[in-house]
Structure 1
Amino acid sequence: MKRGKKYLDAAKSIDRAAQYDTEEAIALVKKSATAKFDETIECHIRTGCDGRHADQQVRGAVVLPHGTGKTVKVLVFAKGDKVDEALAAGADFVGGDELIPKIQNEGWFDFDVVVATPDMMGVVGRLGRVLGPKGLMPNPKAGTVTMDVTKAVNDIKAGKIEYRLDKTNIIHVPVGKASFTEEQLTDNFNALVDALNKAKPSALKGQYFKSVTLTSTMGPGVKLNVAKLSN
């Protein structure tokens, strides 16, 4: 893959063999985000978990103190009083059965997160094949299957992100935008690491965080000192 001049210049300031402390890594990532748009700062965590075992799954959600910098559109599946509650909380779309053909047949995906009340999971389950692969299926562990739709919508709008192992046991999550201050990115990153440490599977033997890398959308990766992140 041919890299641009800006990427190569940014990469020169990063020692690929080094593992940086959080503050230094964030400063380097911010400095290397030189694209013409506000790049997302992402965190990639390679774990020692084996997601094929149920007792080594890592999945949950955390509210980043300063949000993600992205406006998130929320779809809520609800009925009765919960429809009004979801709309009052600021949900972008609320509905039930009538949304099934729109999503299934018309390919409507103008939303980023799906929340459902437990009594609507029978309806949402019919969309499993289309929502599942996109990572949009509501899940109790992530707080997106709940009767408290007000809290769910408020948390998501405030900057709640979901984390989970991918097929290679890596967690990929955004921690903010390049326009954020270093302090805001550090707060968000620390909140994520705290949540992941609390979610560490008790069945895991050996190292939890194998490697932790911060990167901007177009920039080079910066490795962090994992010994200082695990507890």
Structure 2
Amino acid sequence: MRQRSKRYKKIKNILAQKKNFKLIDAIKILKETSTAHFIESIEFHSNLNINPKHSINKKKKYILLPYRTNRILKIAVLTKENNFNLALSAKADIVGNQDLIEKIIKKEIFFDILIATPEMIPELTKIGKILTLNRKMPSLKKGTITEDLENTINRFKEGKVTYKADKTGIIHAKIGSCNFKTLELIENFKTFYFSIKKDYSNLTKGNIFKTIYLCTTLSPAIKLDLSEFN
């Protein structure tokens, strides 16, 4: 049987005292009981009142939170020479063509994300194995193969959060970390909450949210009192 930590049991005892918690109380509990040797993420999990099989619900959505939840990414762009100035003006860190491919093969360059324009897809075969091993292979699904370089680069640079309901109708997302201030986490939560409500409410009758839970990387989940947001 799995042994739970003292911290986990402590939170469980707190949760046993009531079923649902106010947002500010849930955040305070998570922050005050965070004792891991690393900065834990604070995660949002919500079961939505939708049909997850509907094609509209399968589309990815993006939101820019008031307080970014990730570091600034180093972005490389693989494209034709006539797009170089456009990519650089959009704040891409590295832009290239065959020279970029050679540097990737020789492992002379580092980046977090590689964005490619469609005409460069055949060239990706030369570095496909390297990129796949490092989980940096551009794809349409990830939005990293695109003709709209400017908006795509801006989206990744700004730290926008990507989200969509999974096949069971649940949305999972990071809304901050335990080292965020309480008010920063509240602002991120509310921005994310109202974005989901706007994107999905016209697809169902009644309340779009069945349940909302908050947790950290290692904690049990805390169920929120939805009446606070109605």
Describe the SS at the equivalent of 1:212.
strand
The letter for the 2-side match of 1:59 is K
**Counterpart for residue 217 of structure 2:** 217
- Aligned-residue offset at 1:2: 2.2
**Counterpart for residue 197 of structure 2:** 197
Distance 1:36 1:60, change over 3 A: same
Q: CA separation in 2, counterparts of 1:136 and 1:122? A: 9
1:123-175 CA deviation, whole Å, 9 max, x = no partner?
A: 69988xx79x99974469x79845252x4333423321100111222111111
Structure 1 residue 226 corresponds to structure 2 residue 223: no
Contact kept? 2:49, 2:210, Cα under 8 Å: yes
Describe the SS at the equivalent of 1:13.
helix
Give aligned pairs, total: 219
* TM-score (normalizing by structure 1): 0.74
Describe the SS at the equivalent of 2:15.
coil
Q: CA separation in 2, counterparts of 1:59 and 1:16? A: 37
Distance 1:175 1:81, change over 3 A: farther
Q: CA separation in 1, counterparts of 2:45 and 2:145? A: 23
Q: CA separation in 1, counterparts of 2:17 and 2:36? A: 21
Describe the SS at the equivalent of 1:45.
strand
Name structure 2 gaps, 5 residues minimum.
none
Describe the SS at the equivalent of 1:199.
helix
Distance 1:175 1:16, change over 3 A: farther
Q: Greater shift after overlay, 1-10 or 212-221?
A: 1-10
Structure 1 residue 161 corresponds to structure 2 residue 173: no
Q: CA separation in 1, counterparts of 2:124 and 2:212? A: 34
The letter for the 2-side match of 1:42 is E
- Aligned-residue offset at 1:50: 1.9
Distance 1:75 1:161, change over 3 A: farther
**Identity, % of aligned positions:** 28
The letter for the 2-side match of 1:153 is I
Distance 1:91 1:202, change over 3 A: same
Q: CA separation in 1, counterparts of 2:173 and 2:165? A: 10
* TM-score (normalizing by structure 2): 0.74
